[in-house]
Structure 1
């Protein structure tokens, strides 16, 4: 009996841990005239892992490249289901690569988490409608550092908007970003950031959030200065929870957003 209880507790822990995943986006360094290759992170940063079959529908909207002509869908292509490619070669310039985790109800009772609301799970201890957004600053070519597209909001429910192209930011300099919630500046929001190689611990079993190299809160205007103290691939993160509109359906609307960017030259 005790063994079964321990097993059940372990399953609940794993389910909770899986629910704690965040969305982030990465792309290979690309030269003008080449196909852009990108990957959708949904797991332990910076490790990439296949998306579980029961969650593929949450990512039914394809990854998109934001250009001066609007948003272009990428195609899922590669050995793994988190790999994407542009449908045609991209020219030199600065872009945004975006991905969205569709709003999904998650409720938890004594048996664990399920993709459902409180009407379908009346004994739920907690319910949230989860929505996640990932954004990656893409500089195609070695000299690209334009700000026109990069600093423009894409219209997500929660997003981190760079005030400059990170290609213009050197190690130790301040990289100002603005956090928007439903298009409006979000004050007093906690923004954390870390980089590939900062946390080298094995989190494959614990699924704990990776250690952060930066922590601060946004000001009244929704801005905060991220201070990247070393070069490399960075991920900034922000979360925000509000009451769900219908408390009989769910308790919270939970939004999670990341911004990934390169400080210093990216490897070829």
Structure 2
């Protein structure tokens, strides 16, 4: 009982820290299982509540593109500042990858500032954020492309195709940071409709020594998994930490 209480307290602290830090970026997909040639629409998700929360500010997006099953980069058609589309032309697994422009966020006693600590008074903390997002789209029945990486600093790598999953299964993922497995880090997962509360997740687990963690698929539907990782910033006069964030969205039918 005592051990359970300690774990719950630790998770509460961790979630509170995440609330303080920054918004999450994720990708909402109109159809995760299109037939080759069908149009797929991608929406930028932003905030603390999956699948819909806030609208990301125009100009904050750094890049968004798809990767074909053969590893080819595909440009997306911009429909408006938060919606994009493309047509998967061949069968296999596609990744859609996005990132916002990295920057600094400093918390002071007067509020948040989008800058370093320099020149500010009453600083509480500062971090340089790097937020990335991926979505898995399976065109047809082929599983070619499941092991592809987007090359993000912090990345969630699926070890099983979502099309193989059903309610009650476990979904194994590998977390890598700068190309190396990231052990003993928390994964947070939730599905659309689980909760209307911010920063509330249906499932939490920790990666093992190989950087692998498994998410229990509690219900079919659209899912998001997120991970964060912090490292010290080299110049403490400028900022305190780097904060890396990554999400992965997919659907279980």
TM-score range, shorter chain: 0.7 to 0.9
Match in the other structure for 2:82: 82
- Root mean square deviation of aligned Cα: 2.0
Q: 1:188 to 1:89 in 2, by over 3 A?
A: closer
Structure 2: stretches of 5+ with no match in the other structure: 1-17
> Partners of 2:169 and 2:39 in 1: how far apart?
32
Which residue is equivalent to 1:35?
Answer: 39
Structure 1 position 252, deviation (Å): 0.5
Q: Secondary structure at the match of 1:131?
A: strand
Question: What residue is the counterpart of 1:8 in the other structure?
Answer: none
**What is the Cα deviation at residue 103 of structure 1?**
1.6
Superposition deviation, residue 231 in structure 1: 0.6
C-alpha distance in 2 between matches for 1:161 and 1:132 = 16
The answer on 1:113 being equivalent to 2:109 is no
Quote the Cα distance in structure 2 between the aligned partners of 1:127 and 1:240.
15
In 2, Cα distance between equivalents of 1:37 and 1:189: 32
Q: Does 1:213 align with 2:209?
A: no
Q: Give the structure-2-normalised TM-score.
A: 0.85
What is the CA–CA distance in structure 1 between the aligned matches of 2:233 and 2:239, rounded to whole Å? 6
Offset, 1:50? 2.7
Aligned pairs for 1:165-176 (under 5 A) are 165-176=161-172
Match of 1:50 among 55, 58, 79: 55
Number of residues paired by the alignment? 232
Deviation at 1:152, TM superposition (A): 2.0
For the Cα contact (< 8 Å) 2:66–2:96, is it kept in 1? yes
- Provide the C-alpha distance between the structure 1 equivalents of 2:182 and 2:214, rounded to a whole number of angstroms: 14
Separation (CA, whole Å) in 2 of partners of 1:161 and 1:188: 16
Structure 1 residues without counterparts, runs of 5 or longer:
1-15
1:1-268 equivalence runs, <5 A? 20-29=22-31, 30-43=34-47, 44-47=49-52, 49-52=54-57, 56-61=58-63, 63-67=64-68, 68-78=70-80, 81-86=81-86, 90-121=89-120, 123-141=122-140, 144-146=141-143, 148-199=144-195, 201=196, 203=197, 208-209=198-199, 211-264=200-253
Q: CA deviation at 1:77?
A: 0.7
Give the Å deviation of 1:140.
Answer: 2.2
The 4+ residue runs of structure 1 with deviation greater than 4 A are: 16-19
Alpha carbons 2:92, 2:145 under 8 Å: kept: no
CA displacement at 1:18 relative to structure 2: 9.2
2:138 is paired with a residue whose SS is strand
Q: TM-score, normalised by structure 1?
A: 0.80
CA distance in 1: counterparts of 2:220 and 2:88, whole angstroms: 28
Taking the aligned partners of 1:69 and 1:20, their CA distance within structure 2 comes to 31
**Post-superposition offset of 1:49:** 4.0
The offset of 1:153, in angstroms, is 2.0
Q: CA deviation at 1:179?
A: 0.4
Describe the SS at the equivalent of 1:167: helix
